[in-house]
A and B are shown apart, each in its own frame.
Chain A
Amino acid sequence: ETGVTQSPTHLIKTRGQQVTLRCSSQSGHNTVSWYQQALGQGPQFIFQYYREEENGRGNFPPRFSGLQFPNYSSELNVNALELDDSALYLCASRGDRAIQETQYFGPGTRLLVL
């Protein structure tokens, strides 16, 4: 058990809709990252938040946005959903002891866009 939880576990949306995915990190973990994993591929980095500020972003359009809250929870929001957004979305958290401390992942949210 990593102590990282995500909700919902599965989600079905239609093209053009908006979706919010949630993650709860371990207590004391101030850094959270989000990854998108398409079927049969490795995870791709979306963005990272540290103490409620975005401090790193991958090659994803602005319709992917996030929020991090003081209670170690965070959200990934995706607007104007496209079919290619269908994927497993993973969040990962880490502590502050060292910038390269290991990231621990949640179980993911499987999103299907029809």
Chain B
Amino acid sequence: AQKVTQAQTEISVVEKEDVTLDCVYETRDTTYYLFWYKQPPSGELVFLIRRNSFDEQNEISGRYSWNFQKSTSSFNFTITASQVVDSAVYFCALARGGAAGNKLTFGGGTRVLVKP
């Protein structure tokens, strides 16, 4: 069975601080996919980033960066120089590879509050 754990339920920061969100996953699959989604108060889940299990290269995209480590089953996400508009709930999600389809297993989410 697959499982995603986001241990941080809520993080509060002041604008321009960096925010790192932790995500730990469990899966028996050798091929899988990891995602981060953002959910603002409006409710829509907004896709942010996706990573394949066979590519551990960490990247930066604008103010977003991620650290994928298969050895510790972690997929952490960082927002650099946070802004008030970053306030939202962030979800880490896991999808199986291959013919199993791409049902997403979500973590419980981390609420980020960025204060001006």
- To the question of whether A and B form a pair in one complex, the answer is yes
Contacting residues, chain B, for A33 (C-beta < 8 A)? 103-104
> Does A70 reach chain B (CB closer than 8 Å)?
no
The reply to whether A43 and B103 contact each other, CB–CB distance below 8 Å, is no
The answer for the CA separation of A35 and B95 in the assembled complex, in Å, is 14
Verify A48–B44 contact, CB threshold 8 A: no
**Which residues of A sit under 8 angstroms from B33, Cβ to Cβ?**
100
B99 CB within 8 Å of chain A = yes
- In contact, B101 and A105 (Cβ under 8 angstroms): no
Decide if B44 touches A105 in the complex (CB within 8 Å): yes
A53 to chain B, nearest CB (A): 12
Check: B42 CB closer than 8 A to any chain A CB. Answer: yes
Inter-chain contacts of B105 with A (CB < 8 A): 45
Docked complex: A72-114 residues within 8 A CB-CB of B? 88, 90, 92, 94, 99-108, 110
Across-interface contacts of A58 in B (CB, < 8 A): 103
Asked whether A56 is an interface residue with its Cβ less than 8 Å from the other chain, the reply is yes
Interface range, B side: 20 to 34
Flag B6-49 by CB within 8 Å of A: 1 or 0 each.
00000000000000000000000000010101000011111100
Interface pair B43/A42, CB less than 8 Å apart: no
- Nearest CB in chain B: distance from A75 CB, A: 19
A48 near B43 with CB under 8 A, answer no
Q: Is the CB of A43 within 8 A of B104?
A: yes
Hey, which chain B residues are within 8 Å of A103, CB to CB? 47, 102, 104
Please determine whether B91 and A42 come into contact, CB atoms closer than 8 angstroms: yes
Q: A45-B103, A56-B101 are in contact. Are A102 and B35 (CB under 8 A)?
A: yes
Chain B 95-116, CB-CB to A under 8 Å as 1, else 0, gives 1011101111111110000000
CB-nearest residue of chain B to A35: B104
Binding site for A on B (CB under 8 A): 4, 33, 35, 37, 42-47, 50, 52, 91, 93, 95, 97-99, 101-109
Chain A contacts to B: CB under 8 angstroms = 2, 33, 35, 41-45, 48, 55-56, 58, 88, 90, 92, 94, 99-108, 110
